[in-house]
Amino acid sequence: MAAPPTPLRPVFVVGDLGVDTAGVADRLADAAGLPRLPGDPDPVTSVPALGADRRGWDSVRLGRQDAKPRWVDHLDDRWSGAAWPQGREAREADRSTVVVTYDGIAQHVAFLAAAWPDARFVHVEADPREARAAVAAGWEDGTHVTQPDLPDWEGQAWSYPLVPGWRALRGRSVAETVEAQWETAHRILEQDLAEVPSPRVRRLAVGDLQGAPEEALSDVLAWLRAAPDPSDAGEDQASTLRSTSTASFGELLQALGATLVMTTYQSGYLVLARAQEKGVNTHFRRLARPMGTAYRDGLLTVGTKSDIVTYANVPQLAPALPPEGSHDAVFLPRHTLHTGDIRVHDLAWAQGQLWAVATRFSCLATFDGRHSLVPRWRPPFISGLAAEDRCHLNGLAVVDDRVRYVTALGTTDTAGGWRATKERGGIIMDVETDEVVAEGLSMPHSPTWHRDQLWFLESGEGALSRVDVATGRVERVAELPGFTRGLTFAGRYAFVGLSEVREANLFGGLPLTARLEERECGVWVVDIETGSTVAWLRFDAAVQEIYDVALLPGMRWPEILDSTSERAADTFLLP
């Protein structure tokens, strides 16, 4: 009896509406020497049961529940036959890897991930304004019509994928339809990709392909050539998100009696670094693009892509969690505030309120539970509120329980204007006086008040520095082997997050990239009295960026439960 064929391992190239995924797929397939499929616009339509007409014309979106074996087998056979027309022997020789993209693929990510557990996804990112403009042009010229006879639709024939909620757009202008369609499709793509194990997703920026194509493609090709790990499908993913550390890192956490929290928006995880008998345990919990964190009085708050999530420590639960007697803290989700994608960066508590840097709106904000944000302060050079990320305001420091200092990457008042001066346009400002404390900085982040001094990370230099707020004099304390971002202190020790920074279009030209050809990702511990590195924890594979770090004092082995766990569902806290 012949052995079964090697399972098909598609590489799906996905992106927002208006992004040229076909062009990227062609370049990727050529560079990797892989078959590129398919030729038809949407192969899923070859399965009648998956068509929008069989779903009451609600949308073309497909989910995990649609991944029925008979339909998956049909597509698997069809793609295999098209990729290897010379037969199974050729398929086996090519290890069954094929590059796939088609119109509407971004609405099928959940379906594709469930249908092919070994599939990988290349997420092509482009300027949203350019993508929207391309979609609008396609609507206007009628070159992307997908539903010429859509029931109850009025006006110009429906173009591009049919998204949920389309009926509410009847009678709207093309511009309004495109805006709503694009935002809905974007939200679905981000949500579904967040559910795919992060080692199976790789971002590829169109700007990188244009500015440094060989570098951009080489990174993706190396990722494709790596053998897939079957354990990727596990819930925790810890085995695939490997880390190494010095013995001193675990010893320091043990001496502090604390756990280190890290956020990595690139891979989509909140990470707990916990000391164990031999080294450090890194424990992962999935979140959609986690960014800033704030810890206060047993509450851990995390900013994500569209939400701010607050967890409460319920230590009474610890004895009940396996293995028995191992945990000393358990964080339960208590409150989720939906803000929309305001690009939350740093979070901090001050005077009993949670403050956030709303980077997309170039302001500091608080929250009232009704609005997306309540603007509280913006730099004097920002003329008004707009979702345009004009200066990349990012960092927030609290002094004596009052919001006091911020960092920004520029002083521009135009959409994305800070990018043109990112190498040396950074500033630190005093919120109370609206005065610039220090300027000419290379991408400053993470301002932190410690030992009556203002510390910050000059990320573009890969440096930990402090500034004299009276004179503006900046003193560099340490240079580190990565893009520094994320800072917290324990006495004389600074825990500094490091990122690899691979995107050439954003990070090219920085002093750091000129100084170091290869950068590290992890957390380095610096003795601020000597400037020397005393410990480090380094991620080896999927994690390439760190945004924030924070210490959980008095917790050696905490757990964080998500809202879908049975334990969280059956635990009730009463006043």
Residue 480 burial (C-beta neighbours within 10 Å; 0-12, 13-18, 19+): buried
- Copy the structure tokens of residue 271: 């990470």
- Copy the structure tokens of residue 412: 């521009």
160-204 pLDDT, tens per residue? 999 999 998 998 999 999 999 999 999 899 888 888 887 888 888
501-551 pLDDT, tens per residue? 765 556 667 899 889 888 999 999 999 999 999 999 999 767 889 999 999
Average of per-residue pLDDT across 315-339:
88
CB 520 within 8 A of CB 500: yes
Q: Using CA atoms, how far apart are residues 538 and 498, in angstroms rounded to an integer? A: 9
Mean of pLDDT over the chain: 87
- Domains in the chain, CATH or no CATH each: 9-233 (3.40.50), 243-567 (2.120.10.80)
How distant, in Å, are the alpha carbons of 162, 372, 387 from that of 340?
23, 7, 11
Q: Of 274, 270, 327, whose CA–CA distance to 300 is shortest?
A: 270
Q: Phi and psi at residue 222, in whole multiples of 5°?
A: -65, -40
Q: Using CA atoms, how far apart are residues 371 and 356, in angstroms rounded to an integer? A: 14
pLDDT at 41 (0 to 100): 60
DSSP string, 227-290: PPPGGGGSSS-TTTS-EEE-HHHHHHHHHHTEEEEEEETTTTEEEEEEEETTEEEEEEEE-SS-
Confidence band (pLDDT; 50, 70, 90) for 233? very low
Q: What does DSSP say about strands 201-205 and 258-264: parallel, antiparallel, or unpaired? A: unpaired
DSSP 3-state of 308? strand
474-486 pLDDT, tens per residue? 999 999 999 999 9
How distant, in Å, are the alpha carbons of 203, 388, 396, 454, 525 from that of 474?
35, 30, 18, 10, 20
DSSP string, 115-139: H-TT-EEEEEE--HHHHHHHHHHHH
pTM above 0.85, yes or no: no
CB 417 within 8 A of CB 410: yes
Q: Using CA atoms, how far apart are residues 411 and 423, in angstroms rounded to an integer? A: 13
What is the number of other CB atoms lying within 10 angstroms of the CB of residue 218?
12
- Top pLDDT among 522 and 225 is at 522
294-325 as b/e, with b when 16 or more CB fall inside 10 Å? bbeeebbbbbbbbbbbbbebbeebbeeeeeee
Q: Using CA atoms, how far apart are residues 537 and 523, in angstroms rounded to an integer? A: 5
Q: Using CA atoms, how far apart are residues 306 and 313, in angstroms rounded to an integer? A: 23
pLDDT at 155 (0 to 100): 84
